[in-house]
Amino acid sequence: MPYINIQITREGASREQKAQLIRGATDLVVQVLGKNPATTFVVIEEVDTDHWGIAGETVTVLRERARQGGAQ
Amino acid sequence: MPYINIQITREGASREQKAQLIRGATDLVVQVLGKNPATTFVVIEEVDTDHWGIAGETVTVLRERARQGGAQ
Amino acid sequence: MPYINIQITREGASREQKAQLIRGATDLVVQVLGKNPATTFVVIEEVDTDHWGIAGETVTVLRERARQGGAQ
Amino acid sequence: MPYINIQITREGASREQKAQLIRGATDLVVQVLGKNPATTFVVIEEVDTDHWGIAGETVTVLRERARQGGAQ
Amino acid sequence: MPYINIQITREGASREQKAQLIRGATDLVVQVLGKNPATTFVVIEEVDTDHWGIAGETVTVLRERARQGGAQ
Amino acid sequence: MPYINIQITREGASREQKAQLIRGATDLVVQVLGKNPATTFVVIEEVDTDHWGIAGETVTVLRERARQGGAQ
C-alpha cells in the first residue's frame, strides 16, 4: 500500500507524460517490493517555478539566466 | 499541536464539505488525544484527477471507464 | 481515494488511540464526501518533541516550562 | 541535501517575498548545518483560506470574524 | 528538479530494494520528463504497520486477519 | 499560520542545531510575511542516508565514495 508523491516544476508536462509517471512509479513498487497495485497511490504535484528554489534562487531566475547565456 | 493534511481528488467538494472536514478532523484529535484545538492545523489539498493514480492509472481514466459501463 | 496524513508529537499515544484516529479519519471522508473506505489511506507520523517547533521554540522546551510553573 | 516545504495561506504574498523565503530558508540550513546550497530545495505551497483550518474553523471564517470586530 | 517521496509500510524492505527504488524513481523522471538526475531527490519513508490505515483499519490488523485465514 | 517541514539526512545534527532551525524558520516567516509566531509550526524530519537518494544513488553510497577519494 505505497503512497508516492512526485513534485515537479510546472513547465509543460503533458497529460500523457503524467500518466507515464503514474504507471512507472506503480510498476516500480510492484516489481521491487511485490506491492499490490490496487492499493498503490501516486500523486503528482506541479509547483510554479516561482515557488521552487534551488541554491537559494527560484527556478524562474535560474531558467532566465540559462536562457540569457550560460550553461544550465 | 497536530498537523493534518487531507488530500482528495478535485471532484466538486463544496466549501461547506471542506469546512466539515476541518471541523471533523480537529474534533478527532481533540477527542482521541486531548489535543488543544487552538494549535491544531488542518490543510486540505485538492488534486486533479489527471494527477492522482491508483493501480497505475489516472483517476480520470478510472472514472471514464466506470461511466462507460462496468462497475466501479 | 483520499490520503490523510496526521502528524502528532511523540508523547505516548497508545496503539488503541492510533487505531481510533485511523477509524475516525476514514469515517470522516466517507461521511462527508461519500468516499470509498477501501481506497482511503491514513498515515500517522509521530514527531519527537525536539523536532516540533511552535512560536520558535521546541515542544520539549514548551513542555518543560509548563511543568515548571506557568499556565498552558 | 535538505528539502524544505513551506506552506502558507494564499493571501497576497508577492513574488519578491517568496524569493526571500527561498533565500532565507536556504541560508538557514547552510549556516546552521553547513549544507551545500546547490542541493538544497525549497518548495512553497500556497493554500486557499478555505482549505486551511485552525481551531476547527477555516481561515476564511477567522479572517472574516477579525474584520467584523473582535481581536484577531 | 523533482522531489519524490515514497511511503511504504515497514515490513522488511532490504537496503538493496531501497536502492532500487531510488534508482528506478530517478530513471523514471529522467526518461519521461528529461529531468536532470543531479537535481532529483528521492526520499523513502517507512511507516509502522500500526501507523498505516486502510479501509479504517491498521495494516497490522489486516495482516493478522490475512494470516489467520482468508485470502489477500 | 505557516507550516514548515524541513527534511535533512540523519548525520548528527545536534539538539541545539535543531532548535536553531526552528527559531530561524519561524523568524523568517515572521519577518518576510508578518506571520504570527504563535501559529507557526516547524517540523524537522531526519531521514536515514539509506533512504535519501540523489542522482539515483543513496547518500550512504555518495558519502562512502567521497571518503574514499574523489571530490565533492
Are C39 and C29 a contacting pair, CB within 8 Å?
A: no
Q: How confident is the model at residue B25 (pLDDT cuts 50, 70, 90)?
A: very high
Contact C59 B1 (CB under 8 A): yes
- Listed by start position, the domains of chain F span 3-67
Contact D1 E43 (CB under 8 A): no
Residues of F in contact with B39 (CB under 8 A): 39
Q: What confidence score (pLDDT) does residue C72 get?
A: 47
CATH of span E3-67 = 3.30.429.10
Contact F52 E45 (CB under 8 A): no
For the segment E19-48, the average pLDDT, to the nearest whole number, is 98
> Grid coordinates representing C69?
510553573
Q: How confident is the model at residue F42 (pLDDT cuts 50, 70, 90)?
A: very high
Q: How near does any CA of chain A get to the CA of C39, in Å?
A: 7
Q: How confident is the model at residue D72 (pLDDT cuts 50, 70, 90)?
A: very low
Q: What confidence score (pLDDT) does residue B69 get?
A: 78
Q: Is the pLDDT of residue B15 over 70?
A: yes
Residues of A in contact with C41 (CB under 8 A): 1, 3, 41
Topology adopted by domain C3-68: Macrophage Migration Inhibitory Factor (3.30.429)
Q: What confidence score (pLDDT) does residue F1 get?
A: 82
How many degrees, rounded to 5, is the angle at CA D33 between CA C59 and CA C61? 15
Q: What confidence score (pLDDT) does residue B34 get?
A: 97
Q: What confidence score (pLDDT) does residue E72 get?
A: 46
For the segment A17-38, the average pLDDT, to the nearest whole number, is 98
Q: What confidence score (pLDDT) does residue B29 get?
A: 98
Q: State the sign of the Cα–Cα–Cα–Cα dihedral A12, A18, A20, A25.
A: positive
CA separation for the pair A61, E57 (Å, rounded): 47
Q: Is the pLDDT of residue B1 over 90?
A: no
Average model confidence (pLDDT) for chain B? 95
